[in-house]
A and B are shown apart, each in its own frame.
Chain A
Amino acid sequence: MTTTTMNYSHQHGKPEKVYLHPVPVRLWHWLNALGFTLLILTGLQIRYVDLFSLMSFETAVKLHNWVGFGVIANWFLWFIYYLFSERVTNYHPDLDPVSFFQRYFRQAGYYSWGYFQGDQRPHKVQPNDKFNPMQKLTYQFVMFISAPVTFLTGLMMWDVRRFQGLIEMVGGLRVVNTVHVLMFILFVGFIITHIYMGFLGKKPSSHYKEMVTGYEEEH
């Protein structure tokens, strides 16, 4: 009944490090990082065939398709893991909008001002509540909305004939293509911000270490 993820060293009376990122989450995260990097590179090659010459157009398309399927499979790893894990609370919505938005903007204030003044983090990270409100909303949007929309539009363009009916229903291939590119821009923006925010730990390497070892670095 009880989830006790915070362990204590009885010998020294000091709290041990909190285990924040279990193996499936870390595996999914780094596979995603690799997958999205490849998708961005091959996507750029496909779209700007005259500007880049990383690989042939044909190779770029093939690689983009295969990696795309890999990333979709990886999304299901994330989804199934969280659906049946007690850590699912990390992705639970905040049902009190007033409290949520207050904490959201407090966090925004911390990132834009408080962090540089050495203020304490407004959100206390815990295994079952590891995301601050800004992270939570971003990850919910990215994982539940952006990623599936990107996958779906990608699939539609992968086999236009098979998905002809669906493509017509949503307004044609141009609409599908535009949405896919918009999602691509959003992902690139997300990844750049994500990498930057990753440096905002106690030390610039703290969050990166956490994502490798699974344990929270001291704050």
Chain B
Amino acid sequence: MNAKRHVLVIDDDAVVGRSFDRVLSDKGYEVDTARNGEEGLKDMESQDYDVIFTDIKMPGMDGLEVAERIKARCPWTPVVVITGYGTEENEARAHVLGVNGFVRKPLTPEMIESVTLKALEKPAVELEAANEPEAPEVAAKEQLIGMKKASRVARNAGLFLAAPFIALGYVIALPAVGFYMFAKLGYEAYQKKRGSK
């Protein structure tokens, strides 16, 4: 149990990987970094990781796809999604994919440490339950899973039923937003042209 825990950080921003390395290396973790999803998935072939962090917005494969692929290969590996802007939709998708956590930038050393510890707790609980668990623990776990599932179904249905109202709002706003976008583009082009003279 004293073996080093291996952490993989997938983020196109090298600063994020370095931050994890700086914070976690001191605490006895081995931190690997990857600059994109493909690189991270390749790293997984040669190393078993105890927890994987992935940025949501990356060139090529996005973080949720990376998470989906990781879960397809190793469903037991905790995956935490790092995001600059958390949206309800991304969180809902992340839950559907079985992602274990969500952490928002900017990251502080305390956040990095606590989210790592939290992510590592989950598989430990699951493993305990799998290895000759006591009946009440199994029942409690099943109940918890059932509740989570019910809440996810309710949330999914709620968002589905809210879709027409939000869509109608967006459709009404669309011409105005489109006009603003075009005006902004024109203004930026004009400023650029003026600056180059």
A residues at B contact (CB < 8 Å): 1-8, 82-84, 86, 88-89, 91-97, 99-101, 104-105, 124, 126, 128-129, 137, 140-141, 144-145
Contacts and interface: CB of A to CB of B under 8 A. Distances in A.
A145 B71 contact: no
Nearest to B88: A95
Contacts of A83: 157, 160
Interface in B93-133: 93, 96-98
Nearest to A1: B98
B168 A141 contact: yes
Given A2-B71, A100-B170, A124-B65, 19 more contacts: A83-B157, A88-B157, A88-B160, A89-B156, A95-B87, A95-B88, A95-B166, A96-B88, A99-B85, A99-B87, A101-B177, A101-B181, A124-B62, A129-B93, A137-B170, A141-B168, A144-B163, A144-B164, A145-B164
Contacts of A140: 163-164, 166-167
Q: What are the nearest 10 A-B pairs in CB distance?
A: A2-B98, A144-B164, A140-B167, A93-B166, A95-B88, A96-B87, A4-B72, A92-B159, A93-B163, A88-B156
B162 interface: yes
A88 B145 CA distance: 20
Interface string B146-167: 0011000100110110111011
Contacts, number: 109
B171 interface: yes
Nearest to B62: A124
B89 A93 contact: yes
A137 B170 CA distance: 8
B96 A86 contact: yes
A129 B56 CA distance: 14
B14 interface: no
B173 interface: yes
Interface of B: 61-62, 64-65, 68-69, 71-73, 75, 85, 87-89, 92-93, 96-98, 145, 148-149, 153, 156-157, 159-160, 162-164, 166-168, 170-171, 173-174, 177-178, 181
Given A4-B72, A8-B73, A141-B171, A91 B65 contact: no
A91 B75 contact: no
A77 to B, nearest CB: 15
A83 to B, nearest CB: 6
Given A8-B72, A92-B163, A129-B93, A97 B156 contact: no
A3 B153 CA distance: 13
B159 A93 contact: yes
A129 B178 contact: no
B87 to A, nearest CB: 4
Contacts of A105: 178, 181
Contacts of A95: 87-89, 166
Contacts of B156: 86, 88-89, 92
Contacts of A84: 153, 157
Contacts of A1: 98, 145, 148-149
A89 B69 CA distance: 18
Given A1-B98, A96-B87, A128-B93, A137 B181 contact: no
Contact of A7 (B65, B72, B153, B164): B72
